[in-house]
Amino acid sequence: MGRMGASHAHREVQRPQKTRETLLRIWFYLRRQKISLFLTALMVVGTVCLDLVGPILLGEVIDRHIVTRNLTGLSRLLLLMLLVYVSSGALYLLQSHVMAGAAQRTMRDLREDLFSKLLHLPLNFFDRRIQGELMSRLTSDVENINQVLSNSVTQIVSGSLSTVGVAIAMFCINPILAAISVLTISLLTILSNRWLAAQTRTRFRQQQASLGRLYGFIEETIGVQKVVKAYGQENAFTAKFDRVNEEFRLAAIRAQSFSGLTGPMMNAIHNAAYAIVAGAGGIMAVLGMSTVGVIAMFISYTRQFGRPLNEIANLYNLLQSALAGAERVFEIIDEIPEVDAHHVTALRKIRGDIIFEAVSFSYRDGVPVLKEVSLHARPGQTIALIGPTGAGKTTIVNLLTRFYETGSGKILVDGRDIREIPKVELRRQLGIVLQDTFLFSGTVRENIRYGRLDATDEEIREAARLSNADTFIHQLPLGYDTILSERGSNFSHGQRQMLSIARTILADPAILILDEATSSVDTRTEKHIQEAMHRLMEGRTSFVIAHRLSTIRGADQILVINHGEVTERGTHAELLEQKGFYWRISSNSGKKSRQHKTAVPEEACPEFIAL
């Protein structure tokens, strides 16, 4: 429950809405593209000026050349209007291209910071999160920000400048018509969007949260296809997916419904404004207070005044989605990473003398996992840890690797508190072979070299030979250049385990951790793996967590862990003499061996496997 249960209790962490802070942080990334922003700003100003000139030329065409029937002047002004509008369109295209490049570079920086932060976060952060939900922040949320920066920033800036410029031009030409036009559009726009603004943001956040849960369920299901098929749970998973998918559908409908109200509402406002301006202008023209050209100019300006407001109103919904995504992204970036204490000092080559002094730990407050555990592993010794599931065996090695920090007590390596050793240097001295090995997509050679990136091909082959992997590698179609699929699913479990051991041999660690490394393989493969493990353990301080007695009988010290405490300790012979928990396990194994001659007790004893 300590690590597993927490993931469901923290599926979504909602932060307070901090629009201003979020915008400033986005600007912090965007301002790095100073040259592109400066060029875009110049082009935006140019397009706004050209757009303001167009209606003026239209008024001149009507009043001076159409009314007076001056074809020569009309032709010249029409050519000038064509040049103005073509230039304006060209600048629009160019500024969009420049801004798109700036936006992509900004998103590259943001993704790099987000991915880097994920790599440096402690494991307890991932215990509280669903992988798919984190994936949605790296993909969907970042893409929402990208859409705003690529397509919307220039529209918002140019629209704002255009609105101000048009308003000034209209008041300079005819204050009465300008007041009618500006007040009508502004008041109607503000009143209509005041309510929408309060509703849209919340619904877009709900939509993104639902999308994260959907991604999480999809990723989880794809990763456990064998389990789903083995237990015939296809229909159950389909039903659960339908529920999660329906939740997202309803959240998306609510968000998009409010988003869809904006366009029709703004069109109605603008049409009403056009009618009011046209009616007022017509009356003024009849009364001789204005010319037809001025009325045409004002209708064009009214369209220009209302169009940016309409675009900004439509973009407002996209902006809300982007801000919601940005808050979720910055929530990850603001997480506290793994850090070393200020007084850490460099680590020299270690001997492997390890001491646990009354170490206690809990994943959740009030639920202790380890209770004052003490042990001493001398250089080159092998320490075996056995006990029931959840007793705290893996937690001990998690504390040694500093994946988690001790609650109380301390752990010493060669007499130094591990909290005084830089985590990177400490982990460089540790080699870990887990039951569930992880291999990356790539060649066999690349996966082994991951243990030490500067290793030569000859060193890789020697590590594979020592791990008994060299034989089956040479039988592969491309040998060491054979491509592994995701997680190495095109290899058997035993082959993956031997490649993992080869990787650890190449790393040449001083301390070795074997966490149930042979519990899921057959007897023949286990023999090969154990031979490789014995070579790997020579001269190294080793911690072995195992479910099979054959793996731990030769250990220098065996610790029985139960309910977070060391209940028994000693060698195999010493623990048998104590006639305690370990003795009962060994006795049951012997009985099972006599009852089933074909069975190997260390492999098939249900009582021991139940541990």
Does residue 362 lie within any of the structural domains?
A: no
User: Can you tell me the distance from the alpha carbon of 311 to that of 263, in angstroms, rounded to the nearest whole number?
Assistant: 9
Report which listed range, 240-249, 543-552, 576-585, is most confident.
Answer: 240-249
CB-based burial label for 526 (10 Å; 0-12, 13-18, 19+): buried
Q: Is the model's pLDDT at 147 over the cut of 50?
A: yes
Q: What is residue 16's predicted lDDT score, i.e. its pLDDT?
A: 33
Share of residues in the chain with pLDDT > 90 (%): 7
Q: What is residue 406's predicted lDDT score, i.e. its pLDDT?
A: 87
Q: What is residue 159's predicted lDDT score, i.e. its pLDDT?
A: 78
Q: Is the model's pLDDT at 606 over the cut of 50?
A: no
CB-based burial label for 145 (10 Å; 0-12, 13-18, 19+): buried
In tens, the pLDDT along 396-415 reads 988 998 888 888 899 999 88
Give the CA angle between residues 141, 147, 148 to the nearest 5°: 100
Confidence of residue 374 (pLDDT cuts 50, 70, 90): very high
Domain with residue 327: its CATH number is 1.20.1560.10
User: Can you tell me the distance from the alpha carbon of 290 to that of 503, in angstroms, rounded to the nearest whole number?
Assistant: 86
Question: Running DSSP on this structure, what letter comes out for residue 367?
Answer: B
User: Can you tell me the distance from the alpha carbon of 406 to that of 424, in angstroms, rounded to the nearest whole number?
Assistant: 17
Query: If DSSP codes are grouped into helix, strand and coil, which group holds residue 372?
Result: strand
Q: What is residue 547's predicted lDDT score, i.e. its pLDDT?
A: 63
Q: Is the model's pLDDT at 95 over the cut of 70?
A: yes
How many domains would you assign to the chain? 1
Of the listed ranges 77-91, 466-480, 527-541, the one predicted with least confidence: 527-541
H helices present in 3-122, as ranges: 6-9, 19-30, 34-60, 71-119
Does residue 120 lie within any of the structural domains?
A: yes
> Encoding tokens for residue 362?
């809990």
How large is the average pLDDT for residues 493-510? 85
User: Mean of the per-residue pLDDT values for the chain?
Assistant: 78
To 10 degrees, what angle do helices 142-151 and 292-333 make? 150
Contact by Cβ (8 Å): 540, 352? yes
In tens, the pLDDT along 154-182 reads 777 877 788 888 888 888 888 887 888 77
User: Can you tell me the distance from the alpha carbon of 76 to that of 57, in angstroms, rounded to the nearest whole number?
Assistant: 11
User: Can you tell me the distance from the alpha carbon of 276 to that of 458, in angstroms, rounded to the nearest whole number?
Assistant: 85
Q: Is the model's pLDDT at 208 over the cut of 70?
A: yes
Number of alpha helices (DSSP H) and beta strands (DSSP E) in the chain = 24, 12
Q: What is residue 370's predicted lDDT score, i.e. its pLDDT?
A: 92
Does residue 181 lie within any of the structural domains?
A: yes
In tens, the pLDDT along 5-14 reads 333 333 333 3
Q: What is residue 357's predicted lDDT score, i.e. its pLDDT?
A: 93
Confidence (pTM):
0.65
Does residue 350 lie within any of the structural domains?
A: no
Report which listed range, 114-128, 176-190, 200-214, 595-609, is most confident.
Answer: 114-128
Q: Is the model's pLDDT at 579 over the cut of 90?
A: no
Q: What is residue 274's predicted lDDT score, i.e. its pLDDT?
A: 72
Q: What is residue 458's predicted lDDT score, i.e. its pLDDT?
A: 92
Does residue 480 lie within any of the structural domains?
A: no
Contact by Cβ (8 Å): 41, 161? no
Query: If DSSP codes are grouped into helix, strand and coil, which group holds residue 567?
Result: strand
* Residues spanned by the domain of 234: 108-333
> Encoding tokens for residue 101?
């490049």
> Encoding tokens for residue 214?
């959907």
Contact by Cβ (8 Å): 417, 359? no
Contact by Cβ (8 Å): 431, 507? yes
How large is the average pLDDT for residues 94-103? 88
Q: What is residue 602's predicted lDDT score, i.e. its pLDDT?
A: 37
Contact residues for 259 (Cβ-Cβ < 8 A; gap 6+): 200, 317
> Encoding tokens for residue 338?
């793994």
Q: What is residue 422's predicted lDDT score, i.e. its pLDDT?
A: 86
Q: What is residue 608's predicted lDDT score, i.e. its pLDDT?
A: 34
Does residue 50 lie within any of the structural domains?
A: no
In tens, the pLDDT along 288-300 reads 777 777 777 777 7
393 compared with 551, residue with greater pLDDT: 393
How large is the average pLDDT for residues 4-33? 63
Q: Which long-range contacts does 347-351 make (Cβ < 8 Å, 24+ apart)?
A: 347/421, 347/422, 347/425, 347/426, 347/429, 349/510, 350/413, 350/414, 350/429, 350/510, 350/511, 351/379, 351/414, 351/510
Q: What is residue 9's predicted lDDT score, i.e. its pLDDT?
A: 32
Q: What is residue 61's predicted lDDT score, i.e. its pLDDT?
A: 74
